[in-house]
Amino acid sequence: MKTIITNKFLILLLGLLVLGSCDEFLEEDLRDQITPDAFFTNDKEAELAVNGVYRLYHDNNLYRQRGLDNYYTSGADIQAANRDVNGSIHNYLIQEGTADGNGTWIQLYRVVNNTTEFIFNIENNENLSQEVIDHRLGELLFLRALAYFHLTNLWGDVPFYTEPLPVLERSVLGRHPKAEIRSAMKADLARAFDLLPGSYSGNDLGRATKWAAATLKAKYHLFDREWAEAKAECDIVIDQSPHRLLDNYADVFDQSDPSAQYNDEHIFVVDFEADYGGPLNTTRTDDYNPRIRDEPFNRNGDTLINGQTYQRVDYFQNQVLRPRNEDMTGYGWSVPLPEFALRENWQEGDLRYDATIVTEYLGWKLSFPYFRKNWNLDQENSLRGNHPENFIVFRLADVYLMAAEAENEMNGPGNAYAYVNKVRERAFEPDQPWSGMSQEQFREAMYEERKFELSAEGHRRMDLIRWGILLERVKSVQHRAWNNPGANIQPYHVLLPIPQQQLELNPNLLESDPTNNGYR
């Protein structure tokens, strides 16, 4: 395991020292529990604290299950469940107290609480070596900036602090302007870039590098339409980092070998590992894996094999899958929408289709399409509820596409082609580079290019929001019979309401906006 304590005793110890069990917003006051003198007396203790913050990101409400996926992938134009579940979110039936993201809010503020407290405990701590101070501060600044990135994406203006506050003070904070939060986080990420190393090896793989900080900073700038700054950060990663685009698109997502889950295209991942129990393993893979109760197509019908009649599902499961140590034990909560699953809706020659979409398996037609890039049917290394697959948060192809978009917005497509064509060079055989577009044509083509390159990776809904086309896409794309988000979506759905539970705990959250992002 990387970035996480893999010894069960240390996991328990870290949970007691760092995480606490508070379920309410801003209630946990770590200053009452941990002080520089009482805790950070040596370099190892500082490392344990930072490991604990990484572990916070392994929660079901963030990256382990469908926490962030609920609001970054559902309710867009690529994916939804294969049956009538998760409808409150995908169908925009969100209200205060209904699918309002309360668990995600709580967990992100746990990250903010702990990173802020530990920065205070580590900075200028005479018990620690300067090398450890710099390294751990860089990680904490990145991890806090990632939390505020999600908070401001989902709720806009939110409570904000970067210095330790007593619990009573934190519990009455009002909302702070999103622009000021993001400005502060960009400054923190610039500092993190200077403090963080450029690479890791061995058990440290998965920690934040300076390239992860630069990529997150580029994201902030891109979302804020600061094109020059976004392009500059992307160029730093492209030109100076050791990361490279893999030759084969499918290899980017190949985590079939749990001991070789990293590759040169991954910039930052949330690292999961099986057999250590939650939250160190992930259940997100189950959302992308099929249910055998759904598959194969006409599962209860008969099939004739070598002159003998079998029920299709029995033969498929027992004679086709299991000899390969495979099975379909997932939930089917996240499958491609019909239009995205059709090959004819992809550009001719796009090699990413077969690496992304599967509509038949080993010669057997399936009832639903699935995301091949995110499934794992392996029953030896990736069991239901106990998967090791890492969540790829940032990868280099995204950086190239961000650079292309930023360059086009600044100067038109002339110098932007090189960035997008670098990604498309891998995607097509023969190569199909872009050329001869106007700035507007390039912009609109990028809407589609990011969809096909980055599908089911947690980017799509925020891309549609920042482009101002979420409502248009949701209303125009084909959904399945049990979903009808186009009938419900409203302009204010680009943000979530401040969760009802948080409003009950802290009425000051309504002070700057009594409408609660338009939900009242």
Residue type, 123: E
Retrieve residue 445's tokens: 């083509």
Predicted pLDDT of residue 20: 36
Predicted pLDDT of residue 171: 96
**Rounded average pLDDT over 369-382:** 98
Domains by residue range for the chain, with CATH: 8-196+495-510 (1.25.40.390)
- Residue 82: pLDDT over 70: yes
Predicted pLDDT of residue 277: 78
Predicted pLDDT of residue 31: 35
Please report which confidence band the pLDDT of residue 155 belongs to, taking 50, 70 and 90 as the band edges: very high
Predicted pLDDT of residue 318: 97
Predicted pLDDT of residue 7: 36
Predicted pLDDT of residue 276: 85
Q: Which of 160, 61, 54, 150 is nearest to 102 (CA)?
A: 61
**pTM given for the model:** 0.93
Retrieve residue 99's tokens: 């699918």
- Residue 13: pLDDT over 90: no
Q: pLDDT digits over 184-196, tens only? A: 999 999 999 999 9
- Residue 476: pLDDT over 50: yes
- Residue 165: pLDDT over 60: yes
- Residue 2: pLDDT over 50: no
- Residue 504: pLDDT over 80: yes
- Residue 6: pLDDT over 60: no
Q: pLDDT digits over 278-314, tens only? A: 789 999 999 999 999 999 999 999 999 999 999 999 9
Q: pLDDT digits over 202-215, tens only? A: 999 999 999 999 99
Residues 57, 230, 69: CA angle, nearest 5 degrees: 30
Predicted pLDDT of residue 278: 79
For 474, residues 6+ apart whose C-beta sits below 8 A from its C-beta are: 75, 76, 77, 92, 464, 485, 486, 489
User: Taking all residues of the chain, what is their mean pLDDT, rounded to a whole number?
Assistant: 93
**Rounded average pLDDT over 322-348:** 97
Predicted pLDDT of residue 279: 84
Q: What percent of the chain has pLDDT over 90?
A: 91
- Residue 16: pLDDT over 80: no
Retrieve residue 370's tokens: 């699935």
Q: Cα torsion at 208, 182, 101, 498 (round to 10°)?
A: 160
Distances in Å between the alpha carbon of 113 and those of 116, 160, 255, 441, 516? 5, 10, 33, 44, 24
- Residue pair 267/212 in contact (Cβ under 8 Å)? The answer is yes
Rounded to 10°, the helix 43-56/102-122 angle is 170
- Residue 502: pLDDT over 90: yes
**Rounded average pLDDT over 356-371:** 98
Q: pLDDT digits over 388-440, tens only? A: 999 999 999 999 999 999 999 999 999 999 999 999 999 999 999 999 999 99
- Residue pair 456/334 in contact (Cβ under 8 Å)? The answer is yes
- Spatial distance between the Cα atoms of 394 and 262, rounded to a whole number of angstroms: 12
Q: What percent of the chain has pLDDT over 70?
A: 93
Q: Please report the DSSP string for 414-470 in residue order.
A: TTTHHHHHHHHHHHBSS-----S--HHHHHHHHHHHHHHHHTTSS-HHHHHHHHT-H
Please tell me which residue, 114 or 16, carries the higher pLDDT value: 114
- Residue 26: pLDDT over 80: no
Retrieve residue 313's tokens: 């599902």
- Residue 3: pLDDT over 70: no
Q: pLDDT digits over 233-272, tens only? A: 999 999 999 999 999 999 999 999 999 999 999 999 999 9
